[in-house]
A and B are shown apart, each in its own frame.
Chain A
Amino acid sequence: MTGAEMVVQALKDNGVQHLFGYPGGAVLPIYDELFQQDDVQHILVRHEQGAGHAAEGYARSTGKAGVMLVTSGPGATNAVTPLQDALMDSIPLVCITGQVPTSLIGSDAFQECDTVGITRPCTKHNWLVKDVNDLAGILHEAFHVATTGRPGPVVVDIPKDVQFAKGIYTPPQTAPRTSYQPKVQGDLEKIKEAVALMADAKRPIIYSGGGVVNSGPEASHLLRELVDLTGFPITSTLMGLGAYPASGKNWLGMLGMHGSYEANMAMHDCDVMICVGARFDDRITGRLNAFSPNSKKIHIDIDPSSINKTVRADVPILGDVGRVLEDMVRLWRATAKADKKTLYPWWEQIAKWRARDSYAYKPNSDVIMPQYAIQRLYELTKHLDTYITTEVGQHQMWAAQHYGFEKPNRWMTSGGLGTMGYGLPAALGVQIAHPESLVIDIAGDASVQMCIQEMSAALQYNAPIKVFILNNSYMGMVRQWQQLLHGNRLSHSYTEAMPDFVKLAEAYGGHGIRCDKPDELDDAIKEMISVKKPVIFDCRVATLANCFPMIPSGKAHNEMLLPDEATDEAVANAIDAKGRELV
């Protein structure tokens, strides 16, 4: 079997049905093999970054590995952004890159780059295959490494001569390499300790993250069971939305910089915090030395380097979230009291915080408020089989605040890296995996232009994605920070030449919709849903709306800036001199 045949065979043996890619000189033998088979469908993107984000969206919405195939040199360097994105958000992504022939490596050959060198820090692991007889084993190992433990991206770099060379194909083996054995089962003693701590808690909170989604649907199910059993309030990171339903009665909303007031206040004042598959990111904690000062912290994570990285855990539990929650639920049932009355005062306090209605905004009958647009989008799509992706910026935070997620794997967003341009190709990937579902990219006018070329791919594959742009002509989040930190000097955050998105949609062969009146919004959204081809929806929103509530720089969770307090003056003075020194 040739190396190229092995690649296709290994894809089949690892259950791959779709891969996203772009051909080029150094991967032509593999493309030739793809041409001669029907089991694996190749989706041709328009830019390698698009292939990566599409594969990420595919992975995040299915729980399977996303696969991308790109050529050497620029193909590989264009893949770097999605690789780092997948690394930070723990997305299983297998990237196969072509490389110049082995004999030319190091000679500055045409379209050569040091792919394994460039991608080493942005992958979980990578390989340069120098012998065709190693190829099959490496590909199987790549899938194993990408999908197990804390999932992440991997790169397999295959020189062109190895693709042509003949060798022996070995099927996937069950015995993994000895140096890589992620610990999945939690230490039972630690879990007992955690349950004891939880049973005595007066002001507990569950803080869940993307790890719950990554662990699989069973983990989300167990999380819901744990919340029901304990009666504890629950908040989640941006990445963890949907693991617990937004309609659940114990739901406090997202936490962090633009999280809800009640979630952040409860995090600050709690006495026991149960962190489930989250990593105390700096967008979550606010000022570290004021982060939840009086709580005992239980931290469940599969990655030992996440524990004690920024916040000390009193009870660290190393293991897969699903397995640990299973033990935790079982132990709670067996030992803990079922009396939820002790939590009444805590819930009363939370109700007071909730009454501040921190996601509130001033309604407007003349212009569409961006929050209103998301709310209407939610109301008109919540009964449907809907998947949401986003770009990065204000629209992303508004989507997280105002769109209610009921199930895991329904929300695809670039959390860790904050990659503008993620949402449109991610939507393509989701739509390929779920052809009958409604897939909406909630976008900003600036972000969407970073990977807008994938509209063309969406048309080619009849992927009827909906790109819902909250268009305010600004890089809204950049502008918001300039207002907060840089004396309202709006340096290059306004886009003076905006394309006509409706004509652009039509130019690609899609459908364009524009709406700038609140009373026309519902009909326009209904039109978007009913059109069975890719749509760009240019939703003209209030240009100067800002995203609140917000934990300003250098502040703690209990020092949030709330929308009703966010006057121009308060915004200008939100970050004091001390905060400004925190460069």
Chain B
Amino acid sequence: MNAQLQPTGSAYFIAKETEKPENHTLSVLVDNEPGVLARVIGLFSGRGYNIESLTVSETEHEKHLSRITIVTRGTPHVLEQIKHQLERIVPVHRVVDLTVMAQELGTGGALERELALVKVSGTGDARVEALRLADAFRAKVIDANTEHFIFELTGKVSKIEQFIAIMKPLGLVEVCRTGVAAMNRGRQGM
């Protein structure tokens, strides 16, 4: 049916992407000033890049520097562009692709951790099972009454995903996650 429709031409040349996308973790050191986060995320949405995870906080109060950790997905070519585009933003001091840096250091990957708060409600066996599993995952109970727990859990993204999946049938109510914080192994900074 569609074959009868004449395809529209275009003033643009569009080449198919042949490279495979990868997940990379970027550390971005910025001046902590109004609008800086909007500049960074605006760049991602404006240029069609992906954000899988985003974490930001001031890390050096005297210098007003914030560190933004972004997990993004793209082909190596796009990832290189993302790094250079971020570097163009005036308040950005440094951009380090931690994944590339880890490859260069031969450490496999960057150290990545996330914190999650997980609220589970239930009674009876489900409640006992939730607590037992939380213990196995080394999650801390930070709030509880007879009908619910709030667990605090730190770890790799995969561990948190797994914990949440397990809690689902046991009365999962809500989840809050911080996004990935990351740095590389070894003595050297970003």
Chain A residues with Cβ below 8 Å from B172 are none
What are the interface flags for A124-156 relative to B under an 8 Å C-beta threshold, 1 for contact and 0 otherwise? 111010000000000000000100000000000
CA distance A282 to B12 in the complex (A): 7
Contact of A179 (CB < 8 Å), options: B11, B15, B30: B30
What are the interface flags for B114-143 relative to A under an 8 Å C-beta threshold, 1 for contact and 0 otherwise? 000000000000000000000000000000
Q: Which of B86-94, B105-113, B151-159 lies at the interface with chain A?
A: B86-94
Interface residues on chain B, number (Cβ under 8 Å): 31
Chain A residues with Cβ below 8 Å from B80 are 308
Chain A residues with Cβ below 8 Å from B88 are 124, 303-305
A121 touching B42, Cβ below 8 Å: yes
A305 touching B91, Cβ below 8 Å: no
Chain B residues with Cβ below 8 Å from A117 are 38
B15 touching A580, Cβ below 8 Å: no
CA distance A3 to B48 in the complex (A): 39
- Considering only residues 476-535 of chain A, those with a C-beta below 8 Å from chain B are 481, 484-487
**Is B9 in the interface zone, CB < 8 Å from A?**
yes
**Is A333 in the interface zone, CB < 8 Å from B?**
no
Chain B residues with Cβ below 8 Å from A580 are 6-10
Interchain Cβ contacts within 8 Å, total number: 87
Q: How many residues of A sit at the interface, in one of the four size bands?
A: 35 or more
Chain B residues with Cβ below 8 Å from A484 are 9
A289 touching B87, Cβ below 8 Å: no
CA distance A126 to B89 in the complex (A): 11
CA distance A575 to B92 in the complex (A): 44
**Is B169 in the interface zone, CB < 8 Å from A?**
no
B11 touching A305, Cβ below 8 Å: no
Chain A residues with Cβ below 8 Å from B89 are 125
**Is A287 in the interface zone, CB < 8 Å from B?**
yes
CA distance A145 to B84 in the complex (A): 17
A309 touching B13, Cβ below 8 Å: no
What are the interface flags for B67-82 relative to A under an 8 Å C-beta threshold, 1 for contact and 0 otherwise? 0000000000100110
Chain A residues with Cβ below 8 Å from B81 are 305, 308-309
- With both beta carbons as reference points, the residue of chain A lying nearest to B90 in the complex is identified as A125
A582 touching B13, Cβ below 8 Å: yes
B8 touching A485, Cβ below 8 Å: yes
A553 touching B9, Cβ below 8 Å: yes
Chain A residues with Cβ below 8 Å from B11 are 481, 485, 553
A282 touching B7, Cβ below 8 Å: no
B42 touching A304, Cβ below 8 Å: no
In the assembled complex, how far is the CB of residue A512 from the closest CB belonging to chain B, in whole angstroms? 34
Chain B residues with Cβ below 8 Å from A288 are 13, 15
A179 touching B90, Cβ below 8 Å: yes
**Is A583 in the interface zone, CB < 8 Å from B?**
yes
B9 touching A486, Cβ below 8 Å: yes
**Is B103 in the interface zone, CB < 8 Å from A?**
no
What are the interface flags for B3-29 relative to A under an 8 Å C-beta threshold, 1 for contact and 0 otherwise? 000111111111100000000000000
Taking A121-B46, A179-B30 as contacts, is the C-beta distance between A286 and B90 under 8 angstroms?
no
- With both beta carbons as reference points, the residue of chain B lying nearest to A283 in the complex is identified as B11
**Is A12 in the interface zone, CB < 8 Å from B?**
no
Chain B residues with Cβ below 8 Å from A553 are 9-13
Binding site for A on B (CB under 8 A): 6-15, 30-31, 34-35, 38-39, 42-43, 46, 77, 80-81, 84-85, 87-93
